[in-house]
Amino acid sequence: MSASKAKPILSVRVSDLEKNSVWQFVNDAPDETVVRPIQRVPVSNLTCKIIGSRVRLANGNCPWALIGNLDAENATMNEHFVTLSIERNGRWFNLARYFDVDYRTRGPAALARFLALAVNEVFPISYDVSEHVRGKPAACAGTVLKTPRVRLTRAEIIAMAVPLAGRSRGAGRRRGRRRAARRRRRVPSE
């Protein structure tokens, strides 16, 4: 891979995404935000990778987005952990997830302002990256809601994201999914 194509993620432009849809973080770069394009697509996993793709807003507009933290096998993980950066006029807006500390300043209302739209014109946001990665269809295509169907507690988020020592990653995910399923039964849908 040519080092000249590596660049900080905030320097990636739509024209770069049109040429290369999948980018990988460069581990040995002095700046942890440096990414390089992946030539062979679809990829088999998304570890340390982001995907550049169009997403569909509630109003039907399809802006470019950088999609990260995507698990090609687990839709439940994606519901809570997927990250979106939406492009408008050469600028990127990084949408905060409901548990991020800057959710009030980078949450759904701030994204709507960035796009000069009403919140209900933006959310839900749907994505489909199945042409870029081999994975389960339900995990490769999903929706980012204004408000999650279920808000996990901090402990549940940590249990899903970082399995406890001595447990397999699958066990932590299963426990997190069971807890999320119990909460869904208790919480009415929007």
Amino acid identity at 137: P
* Co-location of 50 and 93 in the same domain: yes
* Section 136-150 average pLDDT: 93
* DSSP SS3 for 93: strand
* Co-location of 43 and 128 in the same domain: yes
Q: Which residue has the higher pLDDT, 3 or 130?
A: 130
* Co-location of 91 and 34 in the same domain: yes
**DSSP designation for 83:** E
What is the domain count for the chain?
2
Calpha distance 108→175 (Å, rounded): 29
> Which pLDDT score, from 0 to 100, does residue 163 have?
65
Domain containing 167 equals 149-190
Calpha distance 58→126 (Å, rounded): 8
Tell me the per-residue pLDDT of 31-41, one tens digit each, with 9 for 90 and over.
Answer: 888 999 999 99
Residue 84 has pLDDT above 90, yes or no: yes
* Section 13-27 average pLDDT: 95
Whole-number average pLDDT of the chain: 86
* pTM beyond cutoff 0.85: no
* DSSP SS3 for 116: coil
* Co-location of 93 and 179 in the same domain: no
* Co-location of 100 and 167 in the same domain: no
Q: Given strand 49-54, what is the order of strands in its sheet?
A: 7-8, 34-37, 22-25, 49-54, 64-68, 83-88, 91-95
* Co-location of 46 and 78 in the same domain: yes
* Co-location of 153 and 137 in the same domain: no
* Section 130-155 average pLDDT: 93
* Co-location of 156 and 183 in the same domain: yes
* Co-location of 28 and 104 in the same domain: yes
Backbone φ and ψ of 96, nearest 5°: -80, 145
Q: Which pLDDT band holds residue 110 (cuts at 50, 70, 90)?
A: very high
* Co-location of 26 and 66 in the same domain: yes
* Co-location of 34 and 110 in the same domain: yes
Share of the chain above pLDDT 70, in %: 83
Tell me the per-residue pLDDT of 115-140, one tens digit each, with 9 for 90 and over.
Answer: 999 999 999 999 999 999 999 999 99
* Co-location of 155 and 127 in the same domain: no
Given the structure tokens 């490769």, which residue do they identify? 140
